[in-house]
Amino acid sequence: MIEDETVTGSESEVQRASGKTSPGSITKKVWIKASPETVFSALTESRQLMHWFCDKASCDLREGGELTAYWKSGKEGREGRALITRVVPGRVLELLWIDEGRGEQENGPRHTLSYEIRSKSGMTELVMHDRDDACLDQESNDFFTEGWNAVLLELKDYCERKERSTRPRQRDRASAKRE
């Protein structure tokens, strides 16, 4: 069994809350000091995905479209492909992984990844659900849980830096309009 986890500002701040999830299911929440639009763009735009998730990406953002990601690992590489099964711009993204770098999974276990974006108290709460029908042992679940901590902290850092870098420009434009 995996406990629900909340990822906050740094790895040392990872908090565990009691909650029951099934093996192969990981749910994470992260608070990001960025707009929901910034977070959604980071999840769906190819150039932005390359800053926090993978080394190369392409994304056809529509239901039935495909997300392709490529990761380098030494001299080797691995490509994954996911079918986009649900999109609500700025709020929801759901992916069904059809190839996680080990070949297509026609009738194999289903692996879905979904993100829910909520605006709360001037911040964005991102809830990530990773569900895999394959029965994973506890060691594998722990490995994936820790991996998601690192990935979501990268996303948080990227979105917050991006948001900070765009704010001064927005203020400069507003000042220029008043002059």
Structural domains in the chain? 4-178 (3.30.530.20)
Residue 167 to residue 80: CA distance in whole angstroms: 34
Q: Is the pTM of this model over 0.85?
A: no
Residue 179 to residue 177: CA distance in whole angstroms: 6
Q: Encode pLDDT of 50-107 as tens digits.
A: 999 999 999 999 999 999 999 998 888 889 999 999 999 999 999 999 976 555 555 5
* Length of the chain as a residue count: 179
Residue with token string 């994973």? 136
Q: What is the mean pLDDT of residues 17-39?
A: 78
So what's the pLDDT on residue 110? 81
CA-wise closest residue to 34 among 84, 90, 86, 88 = 90
Give the neighbor-by-neighbor strand order of the sheet with 76-88: 15-17, 4-7, 25-32, 123-132, 111-120, 92-99, 76-88, 66-73, 56-59
So what's the pLDDT on residue 20? 40
DSSP code at position 164: H
H or E stretch covering 23: none
Residues 6+ away with beta carbon under 8 Å from 123: 31, 32, 33, 34
